[in-house]
Amino acid sequence: IEPKEALFEKEPTRWAATPKFRFLLHKALNEKLEKISRLEKFKPEKMNPGCKENGSSCILGSGVVLTYVWEILRDLGLLDTIPLYRAKMPFPLNNVFIDFLLEKYDRILVLEETYPVIEQQLRDRFKIFGRLNGHVPEEGELLPEIVEDIMTTFLGLPQVKRPVPEQAPPRRPTLCPGCPHRASFYALRKVFRKGIYPGDIGCYTLGLNLEAVDTVLCMGAAISQAAGFYHSFKNNSEDEVPDIVATIGDSTFFHSGIPALINAVVEGARFVLLILDNSTTAMTGNQPTPATGKRASGEISDKKVSINKVVEACGVEFVREEDPYNLKNFIELLKEAREYVRAPDGGIAVVIAKHPCLMDRDYRQQMTKLKVRITDKCKSCHYCIDNFECPALVEVPDEDRVTIDYSICTGCGVCVSVCPRKAIVAET
């Protein structure tokens, strides 16, 4: 793709507007929206053009939900009876069409995901059936069966009786087999059993399943919330401050965690910050982080940004790094961090859990894979399944034991250190 020619036209009254010019820009925006709302090319169109507009009811909406509506009208034999309008542009809705709709029909059903954008532009509330009057559920997805129930109620037809499907056992999302974050969370729970665990945005939000994440708000909030928890409990009693352990990924730390950490240091907060460094942005497509020395294009950069040095530059004195696969050493490091936070001259302790993401194909090809097996010592106590939650550890229902699903096992071997009975062994 040929790059476009770089161009910047100076217009400070637009790009750096002060309140006086913002007023004028707001006025210009309103005029633009009014002009757009009268353009014929954005006028909603009828999806069943053969239908005559001589009834008192119609349906208006946008998005994929209208394909459900069309099929339901077809199945009910009403495609030639109930006009179905598709909004090409939900906002601003064509003003000429709004006037036509409200004058022509007495009952208008509005279907749209997920917020009533179209519905709020229709002024006559007595004619509108949608989210605002409770006819359409205010939350949840508009699935075909839900849309069918909405339509039959709106049209005064008998409710469809459909068989209740057998409910499959719930299967919550979980971290990948071999994910280093699982080892980090397991160690966290071993050391800080009754702590508070502010979490952040990333794959590691799934630490919820391991009871190692208590809060998730926005990128970087794990650190600022950890500081807030500390100051709140300290105000009550300095002797009753619980263990506070914030978890944040390496990418999120670079993106939003640094300002929060600087503020926490300056304000004298005390907690353990666990930076989960898997050397990638796994949740959004494995983009490289500034610490990898790679650019977004995949090219090698001549610069790397060290997480350790950034943390030190924020004013943190306790900065340690360990591979969570070395579970015993990692647990000991967390204990050391806890002691530092509690020490009279302590402060924030930062532990960097460094191990590559297993979605990294190059790493996966060169990693040492262990042959893991479960011996007869296993008594199916479920400790490994309940506390480590690796998808490769599977209960055998009729045999009172746990087995390994080798189709997904990565051979990381961390589970060997988890089993209290030493029933899991590994061979190279």
CATH, range 368-427: 3.30.70.20
Picking from 346, 53, 360, 1, the residue whose alpha carbon sits closest to that of residue 176 is: 360
Euclidean distance between CA atoms 110 and 108, whole angstroms = 6
pLDDT of residue 295: 86
Euclidean distance between CA atoms 110 and 59, whole angstroms = 6
Picking from 104, 105, 125, the residue whose alpha carbon sits closest to that of residue 116 is: 125
Euclidean distance between CA atoms 381 and 177, whole angstroms = 20
Picking from 190, 186, 211, 196, the residue whose alpha carbon sits closest to that of residue 243 is: 196
Q: Which residues pair with 287 in a beta bridge?
A: 281
Phi, psi of 178 (to 5 degrees): 80, 0
pLDDT of residue 166: 80
Same fold, 40-155 and 368-427: no
Nearby residues of 38 by Cβ (< 8 Å), 6 or more positions away: 94, 95, 96
Euclidean distance between CA atoms 197 and 357, whole angstroms = 22
392, amino acid identity: A
Q: Which two tokens stand for residue 62?
A: 């946008």
Q: Which residues pair with 86 in a beta bridge?
A: 45, 61
Handedness of CA 359, 362, 363, 365 (dihedral sign): positive
Could you write out the three-class secondary structure of the chain? CCCCCCCCCCCHHHHCCCHHHHHHHHHHHHHHHHHHCCCHHHCCEECCCCCCCCCCEEEEECCCHHHHHHHHHHHHCCCCCCCEEECCCCCCCCHHHHHHHHHHCCEEEEECCCCCCCHHHCCCCCCEECCCCCCCCCCCCCCHHHHHHHHHHHHCCCCCCCCCCCCCCCCCCCCCCCCHHHHHHHHHHHHCCCCECECCCCHHHHHHHHCCCCECCCCCHHHHHHHHHHHHHHHHCHHHCCCEEEEEEHHHHHHHHHHHHHHHHHCCCCCEEEEEECCCEHHHCCECCCCCCECCCCCECCCCCCHHHHHHHCCCCEEEEECCCCHHHHHHHHHHHHHHHHCCCCCCEEEEEECCCCCCHHHHHHCCCCEEEECCCCCCCCHHHHHCCCCCEEEECCCCEEEECCCCCCCCCHHHHCCCCCCEEEEC
Look up tokens 């893991």; give the residue: 372
CATH of 180-294+305-364, one of 1.20.140.10, 3.40.50.970, 3.40.190.10, 1.25.10.10: 3.40.50.970
Q: Which two tokens stand for residue 347?
A: 């402060």
pLDDT of residue 240: 86
pLDDT of residue 173: 84
Domain map of the chain by residue range?
A: 40-155, 180-294+305-364, 368-427
Euclidean distance between CA atoms 291 and 282, whole angstroms = 14
pLDDT of residue 365: 81
CA atoms within 13 A on the CB side of 48: 22
pLDDT of residue 286: 78
Q: Could you tell me if 28 and 36 are in contact, meaning their C-beta atoms sit under 8 angstroms apart?
A: no
Residues (pLDDT < 70) of the chain are none
Q: Which residues pair with 353 in a beta bridge?
A: 276, 322
User: Residue 362 burial (CB < 10 Å; 0-12/13-18/19+)?
Assistant: exposed
Q: Could you tell me if 235 and 213 are in contact, meaning their C-beta atoms sit under 8 angstroms apart?
A: no
CA distances from residue 221 to 82, 105, 185, 385 in whole angstroms, order as listed: 50, 49, 18, 30
Q: Tell me how long the chain is.
A: 428
Fold of 40-155: Rossmann fold (3.40.50)
pLDDT of residue 146: 95
Q: Which two tokens stand for residue 146?
A: 């839900």
Angle at CA of residue 336, ends 334 and 338, nearest 5°: 70
Instruction: Give pLDDT tens digits for 180-226.
Output: 999 999 999 999 999 999 999 999 999 999 999 999 999 999 999 99
